[in-house]
Amino acid sequence: MEIYDKIISFVRGQFEEPEAFIPLHEPRFIGKEKEYVTEVIDSTFVSYVGPYVSKFEEQIAQNVGSRFAVATNSGTSALHIALLSAGVGPNDEVITQPLTFVATVNAIRYINASPVFVDVDRDTLGLSPEKLKEFLEAECEIKNGTTFNKKTGRKITACMPVHTFGFPCRIDSINETCDEYNIVVVEDAAESLGSYYKNKHTGTFGKIGAFSFNGNKTITCGGGGMVVTDDEETAKLAKHLTTTAKVQHPWEYVHDMVGYNYRMPNLNAAVACAQLEKLADFVDNKRELAKNYIEFFADLPVDFIEENDDSKSNYWLMALIFESLDQRNDFLKFSNDRKVMTRPIWKLMNKLGPFKNFQTSDLSNSEWFEQRVVNIPSSVRLNDSWRR
């Protein structure tokens, strides 16, 4: 317990909170959020028809280096639309990782497609290129340019790797393997705005990527998401699907596909634009906190998860690795009892009721993480100028 006391004391020191509750990740509104929201309210264009939606799309595209961006009302809807726009249909299969937030797999099931769970790497927490290749070589075959799962007979249309906690996975190697098998890569970059792999922004390696702006993300507009792609037709389809598939006309209501009311409202986009103006400061602030954590845990028998040499992480959620499940559980109780919020990593998706009957490969690394990983407070810390 002495080690746990040291950790709690250090965390409190980092956030200058000697007694008050410290959340896991709280939003910071220190820019022009109120100014932009007031402008939107005064304009009466509070829904998705409004200039801030287009402005935010343009700014995200410029920020991450994609040609196109389509704003949605949540990260989950962005994942759903990304899969649909990539051509995933009912009864198709999508390879993904079990170590992720439930939205990843929910989006697959919304289409009535089936997830196939492949293990992650120990040093990235993201989908393992080696395990992916092993699965495809052992369990799949290519017929007329299409990859089929030999066990189920279903077509494998897409692969959805996750940049877990903002740590980039080896997305280039995943792309190479998927190209060999004609499988579309849809990046779940929900947690990784501001993260780079080999100097290229996450979410821009595959055919299409998706980001989230939920209340606990690095920048937030309460809810919201974004689909990014370099393919013009894919972007047009994504935008069409998110606007109830309405054919443009001055007054007629004609819908030519099953569409979704998924567009981001102008009100949320105003907040998002103000937040995006602070993204670089927020990421620098969080990386400084990560550096402090790295130095502190270097002398303790608890590992702090760090970025790889090829990566620059936004350190969205910072995490510890304990030696055992018992130690993990002891620390969770100890820290939360003392009003310092911590939480375990997600339960593996293949162990949840809705997904437990879907195919898995060997998941030893994911299971290892599930028993040991704890997220610790990771908010942007306020400095004197931001407090004023």
Q: Which fold does the domain 2-28+278-387 belong to in CATH?
A: Aspartate Aminotransferase, domain 1 (3.90.1150)
- Which two three-digit tokens encode residue 195? 């993260």
Q: Are 92 and 109 in contact (CB under 8 A)?
A: no
H or E element at residue 16? none
Q: Which fold does the domain 33-276 belong to in CATH?
A: Aspartate Aminotransferase; domain 2 (3.40.640)
pLDDT the model gives residue 383: 78
As a whole number of angstroms, the distance between CA 130 and CA 271 comes to 41
Percent of the chain past pLDDT 90, that is, above it, reads: 96
pLDDT the model gives residue 336: 98
pLDDT the model gives residue 384: 65
387 has a pLDDT exceeding 90: no
As a whole number of angstroms, the distance between CA 93 and CA 289 comes to 40
pLDDT range class, residue 140, cuts 50, 70, 90? very high
Q: What are phi and psi of 127, to 5 degrees?
A: -50, 135
Q: What letter represents residue 227's amino acid? A: V
pLDDT range class, residue 70, cuts 50, 70, 90? very high
Topology alike, domains 2-28+278-387 and 33-276: no
- Which two three-digit tokens encode residue 346? 């997600």
- Exposed / middle / buried, residue 337 (Cβ in 10 Å: 0-12, 13-18, 19+): exposed
SS3 of 233-245: HHHHHHHHHHECC
As a whole number of angstroms, the distance between CA 68 and CA 124 comes to 28
147 has a pLDDT exceeding 90: yes
- Which two three-digit tokens encode residue 323? 């030696």
**Tens-place pLDDT, residues 296-350:** 999 999 999 999 999 999 999 999 999 999 999 999 999 999 999 999 999 999 9
- Exposed / middle / buried, residue 84 (Cβ in 10 Å: 0-12, 13-18, 19+): buried
As a whole number of angstroms, the distance between CA 105 and CA 162 comes to 11
As a whole number of angstroms, the distance between CA 156 and CA 164 comes to 23
Mean pLDDT of all residues in 84-99 = 98
**Tens-place pLDDT, residues 248-286:** 898 999 999 999 999 999 999 999 999 999 999 999 999
Q: What are phi and psi of 146, to 5 degrees?
A: -120, 140
Q: Are 48 and 243 in contact (CB under 8 A)?
A: yes
DSSP state of 345: P
As a whole number of angstroms, the distance between CA 124 and CA 261 comes to 35
Q: What letter represents residue 355's amino acid? A: F
As a whole number of angstroms, the distance between CA 103 and CA 97 comes to 12
Domain boundaries, the chain: 2-28+278-387, 33-276
Q: What is the dihedral of CA 105, 110, 115, 121, to 10 degrees?
A: -30
